[in-house]
Amino acid sequence: MERLPGFRDFYPEPIPHKDVWSADARQYIFGKWREAARRYGFREYDGPPLESLELFTTKSGAEIVGQLYNFTDKGDRAIALRPEMTPTLARMVAAHERAYKKPIKWFALPQLFRYERQQKGRLREHFQFNADIFGERDAAADAELIALLIDTLRSFGLTAEDFVIRLSSRNAWQEFYERGVPGAERGTEGEYQFYQVIDKLERTPPEETEKKLAVLGFSLDIVNRFIEAGEPTVELKAMLDNLDARGLGDFVKVDYRVIRGLAYYTGPVFEAFDRKGEFRAIAGGGRYDNLVKLISGGKVNLPALGFGLGDVVLLELLIARGLLPQFDGGVDVFVLIEDETRRPDSLKLIQDLRSAGRVVEYSLTTAKPDKQFKRAQELKAAHTARVEAGSMVRVRNLSTGAERTVTAAEVGELIGLTNVLPHPGPLREQPSRFKP
């Protein structure tokens, strides 16, 4: 049985084949994403991977709708696997926004599904770090969000030489569009098509773009002149000043070639790219002040903005720049059981060390001493420990070779016990629906 094209198998390191993905690298990325979100005060949420088809068909725009994994379920509902998180989030926020103080700052790490043509950096399934803010119209929120994106990428060791955030504005393009087209042709359909042409500018031959623009009443020359002038709007200027004040000015530049493919953006938009231009967009986002209203049928009106940072391009970039660390099991100590009469004492030692937060490995069944030692080395264990007569324990540091005999209670300290697990506290009362 083969896996479906565009989907991934994640194996623990060392990965057995170049066609599979590293589960450790994925965990590493998720850890950095969560840590960056936490530093900026974002709270984690999640939603269902299946949604009603309608949530996406009216909100996301033609391109994503063409890539939907959708079907009719056994209850005759038209449903789809989520291709992006934003409509789900808007639905969730609209349902319970009163329970939360504004601005709402939330993040999620959803797996998303798009039936795309498979190519470098694009698969049919990927994970995204989504961070969004609701209830703030000021450009300070846009700057805060971009600062989070920059700091997230920086936490992997990437610098201003590796990536840049290209800032643009749907407002600026909307004004340009409205100025440039004779009244009769100014339908919303035309405007969205125009954005689609601009979105694909860099990936389409100029002759083709010229033709598409002519239908909409524009010329490539006029469009290019507008891009080259790159005059920042008032909001973009405020964002640039805000990011400058944080010392993050080098990570951003105004670039009107960015417009974003998704239909719901209303104001400032942005995309993160590698500086060398070798990869597809690492991340993208912007303001979508009308989506909550649209999704709630007019009941709730909240300004919103956010971004999605994908795991696929990010991983490609980290590998290319040599920034992905080596992963191993992180075993602190391998307990050697060379004499089976010592197994009960060894199990007690293993249990105590694990309770204290240490990563402990050992042989589940009887094994020759040299085999056990080899296994400890393969696992890159930092130490071995062997229970000896009188319940004393012989501990060996595998990198220095130094050996010492200590009491069982002293082993934790000897192997540098610093990582004690936080006490979990009392159990919370479960809501009644979870009771058996």
Q: Which window, 68-76, 123-131, 165-173, 183-191, contacts ligand HAM (CB under 6 A)?
A: 123-131
d(CA 268, CA 288): 9
Stretch binding ligand HAM (CB under 6 A), from 90-98, 218-226, 280-288, 375-383 = 280-288
Nearby residues of 171 by Cβ (< 8 Å), 6 or more positions away: 233, 235, 266, 267, 268
Q: Is 285 in the site for ligand HAM (CB under 6 A)?
A: yes
| Rounded CA separation 333/161 (Å) | 40
Least distance CB 84 / ligand HAM (angstroms): 4
* CA–CA distance, 227 with 173 (Å, rounded to integer): 10
Count residues binding ligand HAM (CB under 6 A).
23
Binding string, residues 228-267; x marks residues near ligand HAM by CB under 6 A: ----------------------------------x-----
Is the Cβ of residue 70 or residue 372 nearer to ligand HAM in the bound state? Answer: 70
393: closest CA among 373, 415, 408? 408
Q: How far apart are CA 126 and CA 26, in angstroms?
A: 11
Least Cβ distance, residue 31 to ligand HAM (angstroms) = 19
Of 68, 90, 153, 282, the residue at the interface with ligand HAM (CB under 6 A) is 282
Of the candidate spans 133-141, 159-167, 172-180, 310-318, the one that interacts with ligand HAM by CB under 6 A turns out to be: 310-318
Distance between CA atoms of residues 376 and 369, nearest Å: 11
How far apart CA 374 and CA 45 sit, in angstroms, is 43
Cβ distance to ligand HAM smaller for residue 285 or 412: 285
- Cβ-count burial 139-152 (b if 16+ within 10 Å, e if not): bebbbbbbbbbbbb
Question: The tokens 């201003």 sit on which residue?
Answer: 160
Task: Report the residue number, 248 or 291, with the smaller CB distance to ligand HAM.
Answer: 291
Give the amino acid at 315.
L
Q: Which lies closer to ligand HAM via its Cβ, residue 130 or residue 384? A: 130
Question: Between residue 45 and residue 104, which ones bind ligand HAM under the rule CB under 6 A?
Answer: 84-86
- What does the block give as tokens for 102? 């504004």
Q: Which is nearer to ligand HAM, 6 or 357 (CB)?
A: 6
Site membership for ligand HAM, residue 283 (CB under 6 A) = yes
Our finding on whether 306 is near ligand HAM (CB under 6 A) is: yes
The nearest distance, CB 122 to ligand HAM, in angstroms, is 4
Spell out the residues 6+ positions from residue 142 whose beta carbon is closer than 8 angstroms to its own. 235, 239, 267, 268, 287, 305
Pick between residue 100 and residue 279 the one whose CB is nearest to ligand HAM: 279
d(CA 63, CA 49): 19
Q: How large is the angle between the packed helices 23-39 and 139-154, nearest 10 degrees? A: 140
| Distance in angstroms (rounded) separating the CA atoms of residues 43 and 34 | 9
Region 314-373 residues binding ligand HAM, contact defined as CB under 6 A: none
Cα gap 100→248, rounded to integer Å? 30
Stretch that binds ligand HAM, among 114-122, 317-325, 367-375, 428-436 (CB under 6 A): 114-122
Stretch that binds ligand HAM, among 18-26, 33-41, 125-133, 163-171 (CB under 6 A): 125-133
Q: Which of 34, 122, 154, 354 binds ligand HAM (CB under 6 A)?
A: 122
Among residues 29, 90, 133, 313, the one that binds ligand HAM under rule CB under 6 A: 313
Sheet holding 403-407, edge to edge: 360-362, 333-336, 383-387, 392-397, 403-407
User: What residue ranges bind ligand HAM (CB under 6 A)?
Assistant: 84-86, 114, 116, 122-123, 126, 128, 130, 132, 262, 281-285, 306-308, 310, 312-313
